[in-house]
Amino acid sequence: MTEGQNSSLAGHASPNAGPSLWLACIDQLAQELPEQQFNTWIKPLVAQVADDLSKVTIFVANRFKLDWVRAQYSGRISGLLEKLYGQSIQVELALAPREISSKRYISATTPELGSTPEPAGLGDDAAPGLFKNRLNSALTFDTLVEGTANRMARAAAMHVATTPGQLYNPLFIYGGVGLGKTHLMHAVGNKLLAERPDAKVLYIHAEQFVSDVVKAYQRKTFDEFKERYHSLDLLLIDDVQFFANKDRTQEEFFNAFEALLAKKSHIVMTSDTYPKGLADIHERLVSRFDAGLTVAIEPPELEMRVAILINKSRAEGAEMPEEVAFFVAKNVRSNVRELEGALRKILAYSRFNQKEISIQLARDALRDLLSIQNRQISVENIQKTVADYYKIKVADMYSKKRPASIARPRQIAMYLAKELTQKSLPEIGELFGGRDHTTVLHAVRKIGGERQQMTELNQQLHVLEQTLKG
């Protein structure tokens, strides 16, 4: 790495600048690398950033990993840090010391901006008398912004938190990635505990439940396992789609489910799809999942995204002007996790460069993200993806044909064009074979309205949106 040309910031960085810089770098790598690679090599890295931001030391667990990370990723990490900081930084790799849990170190899962702690269950660390509920105390109803997208789910969750074991049992919350399902679950647990500190609450990710079943199997400790799970007052279980094809886990979960319901304990579950949409889960479980209340969380609407940005930025000690929040919210639409990533980049950029948050600064901080979006989502791309999905010809997108099998996918494509691109209604009409803007408006309203009512259509739109966003 080259020596810094400008060291004027040395010694003047804010206390949050180091963590923000490293987390912004991690966010960027999460977007650039395949998930598997990111999870294996980057996520476990822990960094220590010098107070004057002159040096970042990255700790790696063992020698083998150290060599691999150095060979494969160190150049990229240095380049990214330099780009984010705007001047050179010395990057060093080292073997992790024992005291790595000290607060001065930052890992990809450091609970900043409300991130969720690593999933963990009752497994090894559930020593007698010491019950870990695994709740993240930062994820509360107070920090969850309410909007049309999550109103129903939030109201139901609040009801469960205040009067558990009564209505809506189980509560099944579903929706796409990063929309706040996990947050809502933790909020239920935290609220119940605030009112009844003795309540036995457990948050667990479905994968950890699977791993607990495996351990109980290996160690022949099913009695202990049952005693622990069946004695809960509130079980919060995340991402139950992970139970697919795991027969023994499903059986144990079924038993726990029945036992908890019988004693009026409450169960809250999340998933990426509604119960009947779950693949490879036994019918008897699916029907039980659906027997309480099933609610969706939708992608947040514009005003909600703006409110989330302003709130989260305030929580980080920075004021984001409304016009900047609107600019960011219009450009980052998919989910809240991405909004948080964008916010982190903006805050880091503003801190390092000691500049006020403005639209121009946001544009600079997010330039990679904005250019990827502009490159990827074009109306042509949408037309092709929707035509493929509904098995019609791309040419039918511009044709005058009217049978429902063609007209409906065309309306869906128009709706997505309005949602995912910056094009105006007349421009979209033009790209759909010279149609009038009122035709496009009609399609946008119709599909938008039906989306709220029809689960199946909503799922299809989720799939299309995820495909288009890559």
Binding annotation for ATP: 178, 180-182
Q: How far apart are CA 330 and CA 467, in angstroms?
A: 19
Tell me which of 28, 56, 170, 181 binds ligand ATP, using CB under 6 A: 181
Q: Are 25 and 81 in contact (CB under 8 A)?
A: yes
Stretch 319-378 residues interacting with ligand ATP (CB under 6 A)? 336-337, 340
Other CB atoms closer than 10 Å to residue 206's CB: what's the count? Answer: 23
207, burial (CB in 10 Å: exposed 0-12, middle 13-18, buried 19+): middle
Tell me which of 18, 180, 275, 429 binds ligand ATP, using CB under 6 A: 180
Q: How far apart are CA 275 and CA 241, in angstroms?
A: 9
Tell me which of 232, 235, 308, 447 binds ligand ATP, using CB under 6 A: 308
In Å, what is the CA distance from 309 to each residue of 62, 182, 306?
A: 38, 19, 5
| Closest CB to ligand ATP among residues 435, 451 | 451
Q: Report in angstroms how near the CB of residue 312 gets to ligand ATP at its nearest.
A: 7
| Closest CB to ligand ATP among residues 181, 333 | 181
Q: Report in angstroms how near the CB of residue 319 gets to ligand ATP at its nearest.
A: 18
Q: Report in angstroms how near the CB of residue 311 gets to ligand ATP at its nearest.
A: 7
Q: How far apart are CA 304 and CA 332, in angstroms?
A: 12
| Closest CB to ligand ATP among residues 238, 396 | 238
Q: Report in angstroms how near the CB of residue 111 gets to ligand ATP at its nearest.
A: 9
Stretch of 34-42, 66-74, 144-152, 445-453 lying at the interface with ligand ATP (CB under 6 A): 144-152
Stretch of 15-23, 26-34, 139-147, 347-355 lying at the interface with ligand ATP (CB under 6 A): 139-147
Classify 320 as helix, strand or coil: coil
| Closest CB to ligand ATP among residues 181, 345 | 181
Spell out the residues 6+ positions from residue 326 whose beta carbon is closer than 8 angstroms to its own: 302, 306
Tell me which of 116, 190, 383, 458 binds ligand ATP, using CB under 6 A: 116
Amino acid residing at 313: S
Q: How far apart are CA 388 and CA 391, in angstroms?
A: 5
Q: Report in angstroms how near the CB of residue 92 gets to ligand ATP at its nearest.
A: 30
Q: How far apart are CA 344 and CA 384, in angstroms?
A: 34
Spell out the residues 6+ positions from residue 464 whose beta carbon is closer than 8 angstroms to its own: 385, 386, 389, 412, 416
Q: Report in angstroms how near the CB of residue 154 gets to ligand ATP at its nearest.
A: 8
**Best CA proximity match to 22, nearest among 106, 104, 94:** 106
Stretch of 5-13, 176-184, 229-237, 252-260 lying at the interface with ligand ATP (CB under 6 A): 176-184
In Å, what is the CA distance from 250 to each residue of 218, 282, 316, 399?
A: 17, 7, 41, 49
Helix (H) or strand (E) holding 459: helix 455-469
| Closest CB to ligand ATP among residues 9, 113 | 113
Instruction: Give residue number: closest CB to ligand ATP.
Output: 180
Q: Report in angstroms how near the CB of residue 148 gets to ligand ATP at its nearest.
A: 11
Please state the residue numbers annotated as binding site. 178, 180-182
Residue 429 touches ligand ATP, criterion: CB under 6 A: no
Residue 208 touches ligand ATP, criterion: CB under 6 A: no
Question: From the centroid of its chain, how far is CA 199?
Answer: 28
| Closest CB to ligand ATP among residues 249, 335 | 335
Q: Report in angstroms how near the CB of residue 62 gets to ligand ATP at its nearest.
A: 29
Residue 144 touches ligand ATP, criterion: CB under 6 A: yes
**Best CA proximity match to 443, nearest among 414, 466, 420:** 414
The residues binding ligand ATP (CB under 6 A) are 114-116, 139, 143-145, 150, 175, 177-183, 308, 336-337, 340
